[in-house]
Amino acid sequence: MQPNPVIVQPDSTIGELLLMMNHQRIGSVLVCRGRRLIGIFTERDLLRRVSDAVLGWRNYAVTEWMTPQPHTIAPDTGWEDAVQEMTTFGIRHLPVVERGEVVGMLSTRMLMARRAEYLDAAVEGRTNDLRAVNEELLARDSEMNHNMRTAGRLQKKLLPPQPPNVPELRWAIHYAPLDDLGGDYYGYADPDANHLGMFIADASGHSIPAALVAIMTRYAFADVARTTIHPGEMLTKLNRRLCDITEERFVSAFYGVLDKRTGVLKYANAGHPYPLHRHGSTGEVKPLNAQGFLLGIIPEEVYQEREVRLEPEDSLLFYTDGLIEARNEIGEQFGTERLTECLLHRRSSPEADVEEIIAQQRNFSGKEPLCDDLTIVACHRLGAG
């Protein structure tokens, strides 16, 4: 507040007050008898009356134009309450009165300055609080990123360290999770000496939830696949296991079992993108299409088997939907047709096939990032001799 407001006596004239207010550049004076407040005279009082005043109004006593018994506040009134008082009564000046005597004056200008100081202090305090919280979040984020990277390295160790050592087969693998942790998984099984199981799966979503489901799928697969050479039976058993543990998550999967003696591949599918089979003799590319519902949803689902013969120089391509659902800048998907075209031309090795597929996908997507985990497993059966 202003501790020494301008005080005038009741017999002061309007003319005297105007000279005083203009000289001191103030917008109001208090009218008192001694220190006892009886009224306030402001610029608003002048403007409200001067237009209708008669000649000689400057000689009027201030008591004729003042606002008698003005609203007042106590010295201990909070500034927010003072602002509310001014807003409620539509006034710009508040005398401060203690024990019936004037001790000061508050104006909207003072309160606005005080509010600005208060807001500046509040902003500074809030900024400091936010800075401290942000530093804490950055530290936690750094720790979380470190933990995620560590978890990602550990998850990759759950993947097969190398493809199966089968002389007539050659492999190439591309594994690219969207985050440090991913929902894709591939693996192999040796149910007996004459058969080789080839498995690829994709848990819904990505990052931590999908990774946990992928890990559960990996261990369930390792346990079930060694018990049977029938892919349909394996997926049926695996599905029952996952229905008990994946809750609202689901898994797409393809499983094929190759008879190494005959080259016959029996396979079953659980809602997974169809692998592609390239015939070495003709160059024709066909999907290994088999129907089956996603794993982890319907416990009683039974998965049917189909079969195909893998001749010398034939190739197989297994992949997750992160490949065919990759988009370009206008929203088009890479799709199975483009993927099939990549395989129409025979190359020297499965590594060359995978390199060409990745190059074509990246050229198609341009600057658009992948939106899901991406895994490719290519297998080539060598020719005789």
CATH number of the domain bearing residue 75: 3.10.580.10
Total number of domains in the chain: 2
Q: What pLDDT does 171 receive?
A: 97
Q: For residues 294 and 270, is the Cβ–Cβ distance under 8 A?
A: yes
Within its chain, how far is the Cα of 69 from the centroid? Answer: 60
Residue 202 lies in a domain: yes
Residue 311 lies in a domain: yes
Say whether both 190 and 91 belong to one domain. no
Strand-pair partners of 105: 2, 95
Say whether both 70 and 213 belong to one domain. no
Domain boundary among 113, 130, 145: 113
pTM exceeds 0.85, yes or no: no
Say whether both 321 and 250 belong to one domain. yes
Q: Show Cβ contacts of residue 220 under 8 Å, excluding neighbours closer than 6 positions.
A: 238, 241, 242
Say whether both 170 and 244 belong to one domain. yes
Say whether both 290 and 357 belong to one domain. yes
Q: What pLDDT does 150 receive?
A: 79
Strand-pair partners of 140: none
DSSP at 254: E
Strand-pair partners of 309: 264
Residue 262 lies in a domain: yes
Say whether both 99 and 188 belong to one domain. no
Distance (Å, whole) CA 218 – CA 195: 19
Q: Show Cβ contacts of residue 255 under 8 Å, excluding neighbours closer than 6 positions.
A: 197, 198, 199, 225, 231, 234, 235, 267, 268
Residue 184 lies in a domain: yes
Residue 128 lies in a domain: no
Say whether both 179 and 277 belong to one domain. yes
Q: What pLDDT does 246 receive?
A: 67
In a 10 Å sphere around its CB, with 0-12 CB exposed, 13-18 middle and 19+ buried, how is residue 98 labelled? middle
Counting runs of H as helices and runs of E as strands, what totals does the chain give?
Answer: 10, 16
Residue 125 lies in a domain: no
Distance (Å, whole) CA 380 – CA 167: 11
Range of the domain at 288: 158-381
Q: What pLDDT does 352 receive?
A: 95
32-52: burial string, b at 16+ Cβ within 10 Å, e else: beeeebbbbbbebbbeeeeee
In order of 42, 45, 83, 101, 313, the CA distances from 62 in angstroms are 10, 10, 27, 19, 113
Say whether both 87 and 188 belong to one domain. no
Domain boundary among 113, 145, 179: 113
Q: What pLDDT does 385 receive?
A: 52
Say whether both 294 and 351 belong to one domain. yes
Within its chain, how far is the Cα of 262 from the centroid? Answer: 51
Residue 141 lies in a domain: no
Say whether both 162 and 259 belong to one domain. yes
Distance (Å, whole) CA 163 – CA 63: 104
Q: For residues 207 and 145, is the Cβ–Cβ distance under 8 A?
A: no
Residue 272 lies in a domain: yes
Q: Which long-range contacts (CB under 8 A, 24 or more apart) does 364-368 make?
A: 364/326, 364/328, 364/334, 364/338, 365/326, 365/327, 365/328, 365/334, 366/328, 366/329, 367/329, 368/326, 368/327, 368/328, 368/329
Say whether both 248 and 371 belong to one domain. yes
Q: What pLDDT does 336 receive?
A: 96
Q: What are phi and psi of 167, to 5 degrees?
A: -55, -35
Strand-pair partners of 147: none
Domain boundary among 113, 140, 174: 113
Please give the average pLDDT of every successive group of 10 residues along the chain, which has 385 residues.
86 92 89 90 89 89 92 87 85 87 83 71 83 82 76 80 93 92 93 96 86 91 96 96 81 97 97 96 94 93 96 96 96 96 87 96 94 95 76
